[in-house]
Amino acid sequence: MNLLVVSQYFWPENFRINDLVRSLVKHKVHVDVLTGQPNYPDGKIFSGYTATGFAAHDWHGATVQRVPLLPRGRGSALGLIGNYLSFVVSGILLAPFALRRKRVDVIFVYAISPILQVIPAIFLKWIKGAKLVIWVQDLWPDSLEATGFVRNRKLLGLVEILVRWIYRHADLILVQSEAFVAPVAALAEPGKIFYYPNSADDVFFQQATQQVSPVAGLRDGFSVVFAGNLGTAQSVETIIAAAVLLQDQPHIRIVLVGDGSRAAWLKEEIARLKLQNVSMAGQHPIEAMPAILHQAGALLVSLRDEAIFRQTVPSKLQAYLAMGRPIIACLNGEGARIVMQAQAGIACTADNAEALAAAILEMSRFSEAEREQLGKNGLAYFQHHFDSAMLTRNLITHFENLLTGSTGKKIINRPEKDSL
């Protein structure tokens, strides 16, 4: 099978698609990747790359074709629009030339925002006569409204028309959350929608106990680690408000690992409020994350109280489960349901600083044995529902069924071996 993966984001940017490509190659799938120039999250083109670069290189057995891309900058609307559109234009104009001698059976789009990156894949589908599969990680236009990026109702309506057009050209639509099925089905044919969740990168299965954490002091007292994007969607204001409420608990420490559009605000707030129980550990390579997460007393995941986020399963949740550490989930909907179903930690309502502070305090009072059991529960749940090799095999079966015209169940509720 000849597979073309289309993703605006790819290694050395840290996204789930990287590990999935490696896994597909290990399963003897011939993989080409169409992507842009790495610039996420800092908004600057990574060292060793150029915005105008147009070249192919090998990566773990996959051939990666990079096209020119305008960097996103530090979160300005114009910068993001230019970034999104430049990948679409480069993909339409240059990808057919770059792939001119390559056979493509299936085109697989890793559809985190922006969903506009599917547009070049549609053109390539026509040119190559390939099947098109979209793996929906983010709901458009819902996410544009929820994050405040677009609020004009007419513009949101136009985006919805575009999304309908994109979904209409897909042969198969995979969704990362079961709660995504209904909103996607409102814009696409329900019969071609299947549940296909995220897993976690292989790096999270390394012997973290033998690694030295680059973040010191996590074993001192009770540390709660938040890892990942520090943006609007993550309700970082709630984390700070909870820290204020916990100031009289000197043994509790909140550690923010990562970067994002709200990082500067967080630094200012921590300084303004003179918070001694919150620290920002900065961004670290993914290889360092297992050691950091393993030493945490608990792992924190949070999202704003928006309809779209109630339907979303944050990708960090699978990594947290895989690490076998207890989880504090300050969110509503699917993410909270998984934590509670897995018996992996404590869930509290989104955007509720009082509830978050109470959950952190409750977790800190658990015995080490009780926290260890929560972590073991989470790992067992991960192995049953989100195992990487199992999910890769299921994905390949999706592709094979598409090429042979076979049909499976309308929706896959659990990615077990007999679920297709």
Please give the order of strands across the beta sheet that includes 222-227: 278-282, 252-257, 222-227, 298-302, 327-330, 345-348
CB 303 within 8 A of CB 233: yes
Tell me the residue type at 249: Q
Q: Are residues 190 and 229 in the same domain?
A: no
pTM over 0.85: yes
Q: How far is 131 from 182, CA to CA, in rounded Å? A: 23
Phi-psi bin for 91: left (phi > 0), alpha (psi -120 to 50), beta?
alpha
- How many CA atoms, within 13 angstroms, populate the side-chain half-sphere of residue 273? 20
DSSP string, 11-70: TTS--HHHHHHHHHHHTT-EEEEEE----TTTSSPPTT--TT--EEEEETTEEEEE----
What are the b/e assignments for 290-325, b being 16+ CB within 10 Å? bbbbbbbbbbbbbbbbbebbbbbbbbbbbbbbbbbb
Q: Residue 159's Cα: distance from chain center in Å?
A: 22
pLDDT at 204: 83
416 in a structural domain: no
Task: Check residue 208 and give its pLDDT.
Answer: 58
Same domain flag for 123 and 153: yes
Give the pLDDT score at 212.
80
> Rounded to an integer, what distance in angstroms lies between the CA atom of residue 258 and that of residue 268?
16
Residue 413 within a domain: no
One-letter amino acid at 272 equals R
List, in sequence order, every beta strand (DSSP E) within 235-291.
252-257, 278-282
**Rounded Cα gap, residues 38 and 401, in angstroms:** 33
Beta strands in 228-360 (DSSP E): 252-257, 278-282, 298-302, 327-330, 345-348
If one counts the domains in the chain, the total is 2
Residue 374 lies in a domain: yes
For residue 213, the model assigns a pLDDT of: 84
Q: pLDDT by residue for the chain (420 residues), tens digit each?
A: 999 999 999 999 989 999 999 999 999 999 999 999 999 888 899 999 999 999 999 999 999 999 999 999 876 788 889 999 999 999 999 999 999 999 999 999 999 989 999 999 999 999 999 999 999 999 988 887 777 777 778 888 998 999 999 999 999 999 999 999 999 999 999 999 999 999 998 888 765 555 788 888 898 999 999 999 999 899 999 999 999 999 999 999 999 999 988 999 999 999 999 999 999 999 998 889 999 999 999 999 999 999 889 999 998 999 999 999 999 999 999 999 999 999 999 999 999 999 999 999 999 999 999 999 999 999 999 999 999 999 999 999 999 999 998 755 443 434 333 332
Q: Are residues 183 and 170 in the same domain?
A: yes
Asked if residue 252 and residue 286 are part of one domain, the reply reads: yes
Looking at the structure, do residues 180 and 145 belong to the same domain, yes or no? yes
Asked if residue 417 is part of any domain, the answer here is: no
370 by DSSP, 3-state: which?
Answer: helix
Residues 256 and 355 in one domain: yes
Q: Domain range holding 49?
A: 2-199+387-404
- Whole-number pLDDT of residue 211: 72
Q: What is the pLDDT of residue 414?
A: 42
